[in-house]
């Protein structure tokens, strides 16, 4: 019983080792995909910023931009470090496998050599024919013939195994070489990123000193922005609450608790589909990066100022179109400050809001499909910025879009 337990333990340990290696590979593949995405994001952000033409210098906007760039660079360096560490583990495991294969190959070659030597001695003492003819009977001759066949087959199998082991060892060595080269490239990229981020931080410090000189001016700018956003959010909240109240009177709508939409069977099904796609919904723009996230937060530059963001703000290219993140019905088109527009789309008891649109191509009651364009995003003539505000709520309670939108 004891030997069996030992073999079972070794077998389980081998399975665990193989699974661990597979997991590490998968983890590095995820990190590699994230690194490639961050590299693309950096290229896009830099291109977007370099194309921004300002009619009026806005230090606050520049600082927010640099902060965003620094965060992306920091995350990229962090991902490179993690990927490099995973690569170190793979290189170590690869080297262990190479060493083990070398030992196996050496043992195989020794056994094969011994077998060839014994075979040669056997041939010199007595030929195969004599070995057969010296049999006492036909049955013994047949058994000897079968033995000779099996022996030749075994020799061939051992020779094939040596050849396979040699090829596998060469592949492992080549794989190890590739991994070491990749690690060197990652370290070089990390060093370059660290050099870039240092320059960005120096630029940030210069701009920060300018902000401190006129902190009150920038505080007032932030207060004005917060006030404008609060007015728009209040208008949107009223539209949603009015729609909730109106839903109670619709035919075939199920009863619901206070503050919640009364839904028909069709609306319930749509809401279920919306929830099923949580974390997989497309972005409300084709390309862009988040410049402000959801929730209560300190202003990234003027730390004494606090911002309550009911959604996210996404910077994109001039002329970009806003698009629906899921199938639904246009609940309302709201005109906001500066003749800008906001579109509200209902998905059962979920609402998505697309703010800061210059013009829209949908109207109240329209059915929209996932990724359907609903309007052009407004571009600020002073800063040159094209920013969409995106809000997601369940009934009248906002939720963090980051939890719903794919890789936000």
DSSP 369-397: -TT-EEEEEPB-TTT--EEEEEEEEETTE
Beta strand spans in 174-311 (E): 289-292, 295-298, 306-309
In DSSP notation, 38-73 reads HHHHHHHHHHHHHT---SS--HHHHHHHHHHHHHHH
pLDDT digits (tens, 9 = 90+) for 128-155: 555 555 667 777 776 766 766 676 666 6
| C-alpha–C-alpha distance, residues 67 and 302, integer Å | 12
Q: What does the pLDDT read at residue 124?
A: 45
Q: What does the pLDDT read at residue 15?
A: 43
Q: What does the pLDDT read at residue 40?
A: 76
Q: What does the pLDDT read at residue 373?
A: 98
Distance from the Cα of residue 404 to its chain's centroid:
14
Q: Which helix (H) or strand (E) holds 101?
A: helix 59-125
Distance from the Cα of residue 130 to its chain's centroid:
72
- Average pLDDT, 10 consecutive residues per value, the chain (408 residues): 43 46 64 79 66 50 72 84 83 80 76 65 53 65 68 66 75 79 84 83 76 69 81 94 91 81 94 97 94 81 74 93 98 92 97 97 98 96 88 97 94
Domains of the chain: 2-205 (no CATH), 214-403 (2.70.70.10)
């Amino acid at each position: 019983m004891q030997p069996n337990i030992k073999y079972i333990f070794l077998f389980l340990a081998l399975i665990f080792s193989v699974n661990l290696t597979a997991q590490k590979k998968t983890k590095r593949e995820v990190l590699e995909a994230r690194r490639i995405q961050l590299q693309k994001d950096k290229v896009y952000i830099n291109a977007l910023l370099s194309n921004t033409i300002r009619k009026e210098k806005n230090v606050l906007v520049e600082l927010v931009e640099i902060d965003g760039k620094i965060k992306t660079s920091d995350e990229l360096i962090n991902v490179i470090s993690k990927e490099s560490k995973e690569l170190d583990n793979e290189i170590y495991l690869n080297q262990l496998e190479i060493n083990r294969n070398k030992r196996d190959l050496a043992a195989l070659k020794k056994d094969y050599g011994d077998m060839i030597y014994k075979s040669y001695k056997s041939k010199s003492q007595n030929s195969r024919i004599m070995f057969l003819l010296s049999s006492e009977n036909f049955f013994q001759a047949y058994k000897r013939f079968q033995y000779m066949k099996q022996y030749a087959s075994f020799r061939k199998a051992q020779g094939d195994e040596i050849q396979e082991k040699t090829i596998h060892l060469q592949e492992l060595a080549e794989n190890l070489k590739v991994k070491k080269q990749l690690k060197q490239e990652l370290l070089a990229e990390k060093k370059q990123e660290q050099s870039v981020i240092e320059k960005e931080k120096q630029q940030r410090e210069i701009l920060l000193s300018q902000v401190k000189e006129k902190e009150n001016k920038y505080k007032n700018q932030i207060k004005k922005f917060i006030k404008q956003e609060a007015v728009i959010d209040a208008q949107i909240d009223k539209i949603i609450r009015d729609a909730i109240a109106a839903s109670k009177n619709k035919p075939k709508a199920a009863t619901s608790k206070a503050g919640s939409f009364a839904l028909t069977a069709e609306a319930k099904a749509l809401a279920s589909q919306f929830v099923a796609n949580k974390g997989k919904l497309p972005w409300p723009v084709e390309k862009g990066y988040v410049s402000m996230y959801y929730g209560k937060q300190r202003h990234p530059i003027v730390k004494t100022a606090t911002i309550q963001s009911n959604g996210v703000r996404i910077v994109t290219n001039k002329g970009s179109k806003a698009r629906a993140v899921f199938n639904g019905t246009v609940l309302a088109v709201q005109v906001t400050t500066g003749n800008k527009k906001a579109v509200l789309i209902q998905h059962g008891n979920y609402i998505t809001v697309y703010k800061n649109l210059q013009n829209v191509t949908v109207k109240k009651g329209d059915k929209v499909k996932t990724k359907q364009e609903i309007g052009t995003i407004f571009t600020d003539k002073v800063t040159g910025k094209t920013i969409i505000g995106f809000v997601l709520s369940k009934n009248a309670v906002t939720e963090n879009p980051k939890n719903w939108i794919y890789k936000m």
